[in-house]
Amino acid sequence: MAKKKEQEKKKYDNPNVLGLHAQVLEQPITETLETNYMPYAMSVIVSRAIPEIDGFKPSHRKLLYTMFKMGLLTGGRTKSANIVGQTMRLNPHGDAAIYETMVRLSSGYEALLMPFVDSKGNFGKVYSRDMSYAASRYTEAKLSPVCAEIFRDIDRDTVDFADNYDGSMKEPSLLPTAFPNVLVSANSGIAVGMASQICGFNLNEVCETAICRLRDSEHDILSTLPAPDFPTGGEIIYDRAEMESIYRSGRGSFKVRARWRFLPKENIIEIYELPYTTTSEAVIDKVAELIKAGKIREINDMRDETDLGGLRLAIDLKRGVEPDKLMQKLFKMTTLQDSFSCNFNILVGGNPRVMGVGEILEEWSAWRMECVRRRVYFELGKKKEKLHLLRGLERILLDIDRAIEIIRSTELESEVLPNLMVGFGIDQIQAEYVAEIKLRNINREFILKRTAETAELERAIEELEETLNSRRKIKNIIIDELKQISKKYVVPRKTGIVYAQELEEYDESEQIEDYPVTLFLSREGYFKKITPLSLRMSGEQKYKDGDGPSQSFESSNRRELLFLTDRQQMYKARVYDFEDGKASALGLYLPTKLQMEEGENIICMIDPGNYSKSLLFFFENGKAARIELSAYETKTNRRKLLNAYSDKSPLKSVILLEEETDIACYSSDDRALVFNSSLLQPKTSRSAQGVGVMSLKTRRNLEKALPAGDTQIKNFSRYRVRSLPAAGALLKPEDREEQQLSLIDE
């Protein structure tokens, strides 16, 4: 048998068995990541998902450049399918991805403040989840007029060009945008290990801010660029400190809410602008869910009446409903008010960087200055070439008869240029230019014009050289261009600004009637909420066989409740979450209502009040932990808290402590001790194990703890201790407990 196994091993160690290479090569995971994963990750970051300083991703740039080369900036529209097909020469990702890119850049889709594609046909809507765009064979498109500023001077060496994916043609690495498009166009992308989320800003405000920053690097951006602007409108809930943080760090979030109006004659609320982050279908679905759950009872019906005129969501109200109160509720409970998270992650020189608005404007200004400098240098080179030709012409025109004689006396055509070069001391380029002059141009007028043009060229060259050597002049060129763009493309602000301190926040508890109630909890977890009138009129409390009372106390309908369980978890609810009951009913089974885990049981019910009290936890191992109730307070609507107390030893008693008092602890060997609660210092962690209270013998444990005033102890001095831990004293017969006490006492 051993021999057979060895043969099998040799067989599968043979690399040529079944034509497979069976040898296993060990390779460190770090090396695998570096050689295989990192190139992919960098490709996604640099070549796909993150926008660059011109405000475009590669897919946007390839599409727009293709349309530009197709003559769609000044010509008429063409079928979108034609554009998609042409773009595939630059973009190898398929026609579906290219068309989706075109849809997002289109004026019909309304995703951008300044759309780059002038569309015709059904391109869907950014505020609708279900309104699909038509196929590319049905729609038409061309470039929007603003693209003239995107492609300004692209043929004057303002940007670098690179080979496309198959090396058959050239494409621009960046587009020479004459305005900070990176801030004007909203952009988002998810790469590998990083993401980008850039909100749009108003074009005129961005241009004005860029001008001010070029003139003064310490300019207060918020004074000219107060807040983002979204194509879907809505209102930004403005918090200056929050906005300053976003402008400074490039990260943060702010709230945007819908715009609405009330039509009293029809008793309808009309929503006509939505936050950029949601859709009309998402809002309607959420409202329907809330109505079904019984959380909204003021609405008869909600309809989507969007048409060619724009977005319109109609809410039919019940009689007597206050529109303002209802909208506050909807803002709180639906995406009619939503948060926009900012992450200004932009590629600069091939490296991703998260930048604030000021830093983005500085980077754009530096890049734009380089574009303008390259354009000026290009123009300077062209003018110098022309001046060079004219100076050669000038030498010829001084003695035109001699030039004609040289040409006529030359036998071979190939010797005309060399003879002119020797005869007048000019180079080959100048000689070619002179030789191409028509005979009709050899006249006095032509000579005078060329001479005057030479003087103008010399002045122009001098000015261009001065511009190249002056940062101030280049800045002034950019400023003048920004002023022209701002004047030419006047775009009214679409998103309003409302100040957070002026808004009335929706408080759910204010909408709930408040009245006194008495709360009952049974040992098996059945809960009752009974009004004083019902309590006076009823008889004894009804319980299941084997069940009985655990806790009861007075409260009110708006108060919060905490339920502690045997799985170290805390559940939060409000009294008004439960319906009023009667003593004759069994009550509501809390594990089902609170969606507790299977087999999880409630230990006690706590009224936290204003969360200024403390909880004392006593464990079987003789330790106790004092936790401030504020540790269980949450700012959000979380209904479940994990790790509510330590799980190192079984919990025996919980005491709700309002003020310092004496506590009595009992052990399983009939000992007791009394100490003041001030000896227990609060713990910062909810799951703290606590400190020793009772010094226990082997196989002995702490059985219970309760306020000393609730015990049968007559002589407290016998059991009182001044420091902890302590063993306590043996219980005398007169101090023993004669009745069962609840787990929690106030």
For residue range 581-605, what is the model confidence (pLDDT) as tens digits? 888 888 899 999 898 999 899 999 9
> In the predicted model, what is the mean pLDDT of residues 348-368?
94
Considering the chain, tell me which residue range(s) the CATH 3.30.1360.40 domain(s) occupy.
Answer: 259-335
Could you tell me which residue, 7 or 161, shows the higher pLDDT? 161
Residue 473 and residue 480 in contact, taking contact as beta carbons nearer than 8 Å? no
Model confidence over 75-134: pLDDT tens digits?
899 999 999 999 999 988 889 999 999 999 999 999 999 999 999 999 999 999 999 999
pLDDT at site 500: 82
Model confidence over 499-553: pLDDT tens digits?
887 776 655 555 677 889 999 999 999 999 998 888 888 778 888 888 888 899 9
**Which CATH class for the 50-177 domain?**
alpha beta
Structure tokens that stand for 608 in this block: 């936290």
Considering the chain, tell me which residue range(s) the CATH 3.90.199.10 domain(s) occupy.
Answer: 50-177
366-488: CATH topology is Topoisomerase; domain 3 (1.10.268)
CA dist., res. 86 & res. 79, Å (int): 11
Burial 541-550 (b: 16+ CB within 10 A, else e): bbbeeeeeeb
% of the chain beyond a pLDDT of 70: 93
CA dist., res. 362 & res. 217, Å (int): 9
pLDDT category of residue 739 using cuts at 50, 70 and 90 = very low
Residue 448 has pLDDT above 80, yes or no: no
pLDDT at site 422: 80
% of the chain beyond a pLDDT of 90: 59
Torsion of CA 20, 24, 28, 31, to 10 degrees: -20
pLDDT category of residue 417 using cuts at 50, 70 and 90 = confident
CA dist., res. 475 & res. 175, Å (int): 19
Residue 374 has pLDDT above 90, yes or no: yes
Q: Which stretches of 92-202 are DSSP H helices?
A: 95-105, 147-150, 181-184
pLDDT at site 505: 66
> In the predicted model, what is the mean pLDDT of residues 153-157?
92
The model's pTM is 0.72
pLDDT at site 3: 55
Query: Which pairs with CB-CB distance under 8 Å and at least 24 residues apart come from 214-221?
Result: 214/365, 214/475, 214/478, 214/479, 215/475, 215/479, 217/362, 221/247, 221/357, 221/358, 221/361
Instruction: Let me know if domain 259-335 sits in CATH 3.20.20.70.
Output: no
Average confidence score pLDDT of the chain: 88
Model confidence over 677-709: pLDDT tens digits?
999 999 988 989 999 999 998 889 999 999 998
Residue 609 has pLDDT above 80, yes or no: yes
3-state secondary structure of 291: helix
Proportion of the chain in helix, strand, coil states, percent, rounded to 5 = 40, 20, 40
Catalytic residue IDs: 138
Residue 529: DSSP 8-state? E
pLDDT at site 40: 83
Residue 468 and residue 380 in contact, taking contact as beta carbons nearer than 8 Å? yes
Residue 10 has pLDDT above 70, yes or no: no
pLDDT at site 439: 67
Q: Determine how β-strand 78-79 pairs with β-strand 117-120.
A: unpaired
pLDDT at site 147: 96
> In the predicted model, what is the mean pLDDT of residues 358-379?
95
pLDDT at site 433: 79
Residue 621 has pLDDT above 90, yes or no: yes
**Which CATH class for the 610-746 domain?**
mainly beta
Least confident span in 29-33, 581-585, 734-738: 734-738
Looking at the DSSP assignment, which residues form a beta bridge with residue 197? Answer: 188, 343
> In the predicted model, what is the mean pLDDT of residues 222-245?
94
Residue 410 and residue 419 in contact, taking contact as beta carbons nearer than 8 Å? yes
Structure tokens that stand for 206 in this block: 């961005």
Least confident span in 55-59, 234-238, 514-518, 535-539: 535-539
Q: Which stretches of 225-356 are DSSP H helices?
A: 240-249, 280-292, 323-333
Considering the chain, tell me which residue range(s) the CATH 2.120.10.90 domain(s) occupy.
Answer: 610-746
> In the predicted model, what is the mean pLDDT of residues 339-358?
94
